[in-house]
Structure 1
Amino acid sequence: MPIFIPLVIGIIAVSFSSIFVKWSQAPVSVQGMYRLLFTLLLMLPFVWKQFAYMRKISNKDAVLLFLSGTFLALHFLFWMGSLKLTTVASSTILLSLQPVFVMVGAYIAFREKTSKAAMNGMIVAITGAIMIGWGDIGISIQHIQGDILSILGTIVVAVHMLIGQKLLKTLPATLYSFIVFLTAVIVFAVYNIFLEIPMTGYPDKEWGIFLLLAIIPTVFGHVLFNWLLKYVTAATISMAILGEPVGASLLAYLLIGETLSFTQWLGGAIVLTGLYYFLQNTRKQKKDKPLAPIKNPVTAGPIMKKG
C-alpha cells in the first residue's frame, strides 16, 4: 500500500480535532486527558502482548519516553487552549509552521539534511498556509494570546516528534504510542488536580466529544503518524500535517460558520501544491531505502485488503 494513503487518512482525521475542541465547553486539560485516556482503552486489547518488551527499555529511553509524553501533553494544552481564544484558521496556520522547527531540530539532533527541491516545496506550502490564516489573524489581545499559545504548541510538538523519531528506531510503534499517551494522561491529571479543575460531572455531550477526539484525530491521526515515523522522517510527517489548515478551515466553514476569503481558498490550493512537491522530492531522496511491510497502526498486524 502506498505511503500517501495513510498520510491522507491522517490529515483528514486531525482536521476534525479543532472542530471537536470548539464544540466542547470543558477545560482543554480535561479534553486532552480524556481524549488520550479513551485512546489508551481502545489500544489496550492490541498492545498488552507487547508489555513484556518494556523490561528491555533502557533508563535513557525511559526518560525520553517521559519527555515525549510530557511534550505531547503540553502540545494539547497550548494548541487546544489557543482554539478557545482565536479562530481555527489562525490556530492551524501557526501550527503548520511546525516543519520549520522540526527541520531545525532534526539538523541539530540528527544532522538530517533536506534537499533544495524539498525546501522549495516547504516554502511554497508554508506560504499557502500563511494565506489561509491571513484573514483571521486577529489584532485583539485575546487573539494575540491564542496565537502565542499556538506557536508554543507548535514548538513542543516538534520536540515530541523528534524524540519519537529516535525512539521508534528500537521500540514498537504501538507500545511507544501507548507509553507516551499514558505519560501525557498522568501529566494532565496532575495538572488538573494541582489547579483544582473538575474531572467529573460533565454532560453526556462532552463525553461524546471526548470519545470522538480519541477515535478520529488521535487513533487515526496521531497513532497513525507515530507509526509512519518508522518509514518517513519527522519533517515529512510535519509537511503532511500542513494539509490540516486546509481541512480544518473547510470544516470550520461548513460546521461552525467560520468564513473563508478568496485568499484563504487560494492558499489551500497552494498548500496542497507545495505539500505534493515536498513529498515527491522527499520520496526521491529515500528511494534507495526499501519500505518495510505496511502494518496496521493500532494492531501492529498487517493491513488486510478487502475483496
Structure 2
Amino acid sequence: MSDTLEQTIDRPVTRLTRALPYLVLFGGVLIAAAAAILIRYIQGMEVPSTTIAAGRLGLAALILLPIAWSRAGDELRRLSRRDILLGIVSGVFLAVHFAAWISSLAYTSVASSVALVSTNPLWVALLSAVLLRERPSLPTMTGVALTITGSILIGISDSSGPDSGNALLGNILALVGAFGGSMYFLVGRSLRRHVSVLAYIWLVYTSAAVALLITALAFAGTANPLELFGGYPPLVYLLLLGLAVGPQLLGHTAFNWSLRYLSATFVTVALLGEPIGSALLALILFGEWFAPLQLAGFVLLLIGIAVAAQGERSGK
C-alpha cells in the first residue's frame, strides 16, 4: 500500500465519500465468506481446529510484522500501556472467537455454524450501551431483531437433523465464538478511535496468535511448534496461507477499518451477510442443502442487514 493511499484511507470521514466505508465492509464480508469452506477442507485432512486457528493468525501476524513496523513503528512505540493492554485483551477475545468457531465447523453444518457465530449484534447491541454509551436507533435495533430471529431459525433447523447431538455441541461452540467476536469488536471500537488500523491489527492479531499457539500446543500435548505444524500435505499449508491472506488480512482488516467510521452494532449486523455466502459455497462444493426453515432464516438475515443499514444512515 502506497503512502498516498494510506493517508487517504486514514483521513477523517468528512473527506471520504459516504459510500466508501460501506463498500469496504461489503468487500470484507465477501472475502470472509470463504473462510468456512477453506477450514472445512483443512479439517478434512485431519488438522486439529486449534492448530488451524493458530496457523491462520500466526501467518497473518508474521506477514504484517515488517509492514506494521516499517509504516507504523513510531506509533506502536508511542502506544500507552492502557492501549497495549486493550489490544492484548482484544486479541484474546479474537482467539476465543476463532478457537470456538473453527471447532464448531467439525460438528455442525457450515450454514448453521456461520449463522450462529454471526449473532454478534445481540451481544454488541446490549453491551455497546454500557461500555461505549452508544444508543442504537430504532431501525438498527429492528434489524438486529430480524437477524437474530433468522439465526435462531437456522439453528433450530440444523438441530432437528439426524446428527443433532453433534450439531448441538457445534451450535454452542459457535455461540461462544459469537460472544468472543463481539467483545473483540467492542474493544476494537474504542481503540480504533485514536489508533491507526495498521498498528491496531498487528497488535491484536499478534496477541491472538500467541494465545492460540499456547492453546494449540496444550491440546496437542507438546511444547514444540514444529511438531504442531509439521507432517501435513503441502495443500494444508497453502490453504492456511489462503486463510491468513484472504479472510484474515483482507476481510478482517476491512472490518476493523470500518469500525472507525461505522458503529460497532452496524458492522456486526453487516457481517451477517457472511452466512449467506458461506451457505451458498457449501451447497455448491459440499452439497449441503438447506431446509425450508434455514432458507427462511437466510431471508430474515438479509432483510435485517438492509434495515440496519438504513438505521445507520439515518443516525448519521
Alignment pair present for 1:14 and 2:32:
yes
1:66-215, aligned counterparts within 5 Å? 66-138=88-160, 140-195=164-219, 196=221, 198-215=228-245
Equivalent residue for 2:55?
A: 34
Equivalent residue for 1:230?
A: 260
Identity of aligned residues (%): 32
User: As a proportion of its length, which structure holds more helix?
Assistant: 2
Inter-partner Cα distance in structure 2 for 1:262 and 1:8: 26
Give the letter for the 2:82 counterpart: K
How many residue pairs match? The answer is: 286
Equivalent residue for 1:271?
A: 301
Equivalent residue for 1:297?
A: none
CA contact (8 A) 2:61 2:209 kept: no
Could you give the per-residue CA deviations for residues 90-113 of structure 1, whole angstroms, max 9, x where no partner exists?
212211211010111111112211
Name structure 2 gaps, 5 residues minimum. 1-16, 223-227
CA contact (8 A) 1:117 1:278 kept: yes
Measured after TM superposition, the shift of residue 124 of structure 1 is 2.1
TM (norm. structure 2) is 0.85
Inter-partner Cα distance in structure 1 for 2:190 and 2:179: 17
Give the letter for the 1:273 counterpart: I
Could you give the per-residue CA deviations for residues 85-136 of structure 1, whole angstroms, max 9, x where no partner exists?
1111221221121101011111111221111122112222322333344422
> Secondary structure of the residue that 1:249 maps to in structure 2?
helix
Equivalent residue for 1:54?
A: 76
Inter-partner Cα distance in structure 2 for 1:96 and 1:192: 24
Measured after TM superposition, the shift of residue 75 of structure 1 is 0.7
Runs of 4+ off more than 4 Å: none
Equivalent residue for 2:5?
A: none
Counterpart of 1:251 (choices 272, 281, 289) is: 281
Name structure 1 gaps, 5 residues minimum. 287-307
CA contact (8 A) 1:90 1:137 kept: no
CA contact (8 A) 2:122 2:148 kept: no
TM (norm. structure 1) is 0.88
Inter-partner Cα distance in structure 1 for 2:246 and 2:155: 24
Measured after TM superposition, the shift of residue 45 of structure 1 is 4.5
Could you give the per-residue CA deviations for residues 33-57 of structure 1, whole angstroms, max 9, x where no partner exists?
1212222233344322212212221
RMSD: 1.7
Inter-partner Cα distance in structure 1 for 2:98 and 2:207: 13
Measured after TM superposition, the shift of residue 199 of structure 1 is 2.5
Inter-partner Cα distance in structure 1 for 2:176 and 2:147: 21
Judge which range, 192-201 or 217-226, deviates more: 192-201
CA contact (8 A) 1:102 1:234 kept: yes
Equivalent residue for 2:314?
A: 284
Judge which range, 210-219 or 133-142, deviates more: 133-142
> Secondary structure of the residue that 1:136 maps to in structure 2?
helix
